[in-house]
Amino acid sequence: MLKNLERYQLILGSQSPRRQELLKGLNIPFEVKVIDVEETYPQGLVGVDISMYLAEKKADVYQPFMNENTLLITADTIVWHEGQIFGKPTDKTDAIRMLNALSGKTHQVITGVCISTLSKRKIFSVISEVRFAKLNTYEIEYYVDNYKPYDKAGAYGVQEWIGFVAVENIEGSYFNIMGLPIQRLYNELKHWKE
C-alpha cells in the first residue's frame, strides 16, 4: 500500500490490543514486540508533553534491538482533566473516583506517538475532547464491577459499555481515544522519508 515503507520492517511497540487492531486496519504489515517500560516522567511535565515524553521513552528501550530496516511505532495515551493526569486506576475505589470526576464534564484524551528508525525520530501528539454525560453511582459501579478497567487510563474504554452510555460528544479523533490517532499516523507514514 505505502511504497515508501517497502524497505522497512514495521514494529509496533505496544501490548495494547486496541493499538494492534487499529494498526491492522491500515493494511500495512507489522509485527508486535513488547518491552516493558516504567511509565514515569519528570515532575513538572503536563498534558501533551507527558504523552510525547513517554512515547519517546518507550522508543528508547527498543534501540538495542533495531537495525537499519526497522521502523518502530510507540505510543502513550493519557487522560488529562482539570490540570491532572488520570492514569490506570490502582483499585476499585480509585476507578470510581476517576469516573465520578469525569462524569458530566469534558476531559482530554491525549496520545503521544513516536515513529523512529535508527537515524530519525518523529514525535507528535493528538488531542481529543470527550464530553461525558452525568453518570449515577449505579452506572459507575456497574461498569467497574463488570468491565474491570484497571488497564485503562482514566478507568474507561471508549469502545465498551461506558463509552456507549457516557460519551455525549467527541471533538477530534475517536481512534485516538481508543489509543492511536490512526489517521494522523497514516499521514505521517505516507510522507515518511529519511
How many CB atoms neighbour CB 7 within 10 A? 10
Letters for 116-155 (x = contact with a copy of itself by CB under 8 A, - = none) are -----------------x--------x-------------
Task: Find how far residue 132's CA is from the centre of its chain.
Answer: 19
The window from 5-13, 94-102, 104-112, 173-181 that contacts a copy of itself (CB under 8 A) reads: 173-181
60 counts as catalytic: no
Q: For residues 114 and 76, what is the distance between their CA atoms, to the nearest angstrom? A: 9
Q: Is 186 in the site for a copy of itself (CB under 8 A)?
A: yes
Give SS3 for 185: helix
Does residue number 1 form part of the binding site for a copy of itself (CB under 8 A)?
A: yes
For a copy of itself, the closer of residues 5 and 37 by Cβ is 5
53/175 with CB nearer a copy of itself: 175
What DSSP element (H or E) covers 128? strand 121-132
Cell matching residue 120: 530519525
Length of the chain: 194
Pick the stretch among 34-42, 59-67, 90-98, 182-190 that binds a copy of itself (CB under 8 A).
Answer: 182-190
